[in-house]
Amino acid sequence: MIRTGLSALLLLGTWAAAGLAPAAAAPSPASEAPASTGLLTAMQKDLGLTESQAKARLAAEKTATAVESKAKRAAGASYGGSWFNPDSGTLTVTVTSAQKADAVRATGATVQLVKHSAQQLDAAKERIDALSAPAGVSSWHVDPKANRVVVNVVAAQKSDNDVRDFLDRARQAGPVTVKETAQAPQTFAAGTVGGDPYYTGNVRCSIGFSVHGGFVTAGHCGQAGASVSGWDGSYIGNFQGSSFPDNDYAWVNVGSGWWTAPVVLGWGSVSDQLVRGSNEAPIGASICRSGSTTHWRCGNLLAKNETVNYSQGAVHQMTKTSVCAEGGDSGGSFISGDQAQGVTSGGWGNCSGGGETWYQPINEILGRYGLTLHTA
């Protein structure tokens, strides 16, 4: 059964993710269809929800996603960031000007006043991006709740002189908060294992999302021109573009009898998921991932626009989640509801003890290569 599912997945050349512009308009009327039993089951298992709670959360997240774009426009330059609260089912939007509060509140959002705008915090993060980070610094991102840039440091290396020096320089760039993390992030590629999605050389990775003419995946899985084969060893295509580090995305053309479809594989444990667009989910939303090693897993969206400091170099504009992953899951799909979100890059931990995983947003990839997401 699993082998059959893999064959179907690769022949369809599919997976899911979400993002911003080139692929997505508003969801089609078909996206109003109820959530699949498989998705609800996965959310119950990984998020500790009942079926009714999972349904209610998906509905609230869909509303929050629509509210977020309206609230940003209403806040203008006063916008300080936003996040979804799963307990209340509401979207909180921060603003620096009390004069904008009523307009933002009218969109359906809860409003908080803060000192720093999102533009100011993003500018501070960009100044930190220009610094050279030591291995003991794992990542950094703008945290709308804290209204500061959060720099994550590996706990065992927090006293390292290079780490201290980096933090001193980071604090000069703008408002910074330091947090500790258990481990340093790493990419999730793996050595060749029979019966898994696709290979380039001796590296196994996972298909992300179908686009017209191919599929997107992680850049660290292969360089431009590298040949790609499926689980059965047959030729699929070649990496047409690839970027890593700085970014972690790539796309592969599909031919030789392979084709694409707007589907994310459920691996027999959940129903295969249709991809209907790439509207970006807010911080705090639930999110699920499909990959060739640990299959279907769910968690929460923790942070956006985070710079991740891998041993190979920093990767920018990543999204952090509480979803676990392991070697071979790289390149696989992140999806929220029926909206594609991004392709798996790396993280720390595993699916036995837990951890965190980052993905590269899908809309950035589509825009970079001029691709169009294949949607149902």
Report the 3 state secondary structure along 121-157.
Answer: HHHHHHHHHCCCCCCCEEEEEEECCCCEEEEEEEHHH
pTM: 0.80
Is residue 227 part of the annotated active site? The answer reads: no
Please say whether the dihedral angle defined by the alpha carbons of residues 201, 354, 263 and 210, taken in this order, is positive or negative: negative
Q: Has residue 193 got a pLDDT over 50?
A: no
3-state secondary structure of 82: strand
Give Cβ neighbours of residue 323 (< 8 Å, ≥ 6 apart): 46, 287, 288, 289, 297, 298, 299, 334, 357
Give Cβ neighbours of residue 3 (< 8 Å, ≥ 6 apart): 195, 231
Annotated active-site residue in 82, 117, 138, 330: 330
Annotated active-site residue in 220, 295, 329, 338: 220
Helix, strand, coil share of the chain (percent; to 5): 25, 35, 35
3-state secondary structure of 370: coil
Is residue 330 part of the annotated active site? The answer reads: yes
Structure tokens at 298: 């769910």
User: What is the pLDDT, as a whole number, of residue 261?
Assistant: 84
d(CA 63, CA 286): 13
What is the tally of helices (H) and strands (E) in the chain?
A: 7, 23
Predicted confidence band of residue 258 (pLDDT cuts 50, 70, 90): confident
Helix (H) or strand (E) holding 5: helix 2-12
Top mean-pLDDT range of 20-34, 46-60, 176-190: 46-60
Predicted confidence band of residue 29 (pLDDT cuts 50, 70, 90): very low
**Mean pLDDT score, 365-369:** 98
Question: What is the pLDDT of the chain when averaged over all its residues?
Answer: 88
Predicted confidence band of residue 272 (pLDDT cuts 50, 70, 90): confident
d(CA 312, CA 243): 12
CA 321 to chain centre: 7
Is residue 165 part of the annotated active site? The answer reads: no
3-state secondary structure of 31: helix
Angle at which helices 37-47 and 51-75 cross, to 10°: 90
Question: Quick one: which of 190, 290, 186, 293 has its CA closest to 244?
Answer: 186
> In this predicted model, which residue has the larger pLDDT, 256 or 99?
99
User: What is the pLDDT, as a whole number, of residue 196?
Assistant: 65
Cis peptide before 86 (omega within 30 of 0): no
pLDDT digit string (tens) for 113-150? 999 999 999 999 999 999 999 999 999 999 999 999 99
Annotated active-site residue in 46, 143, 196, 248: 248
Give Cβ neighbours of residue 242 (< 8 Å, ≥ 6 apart): 219, 222, 223, 224, 226, 249, 250
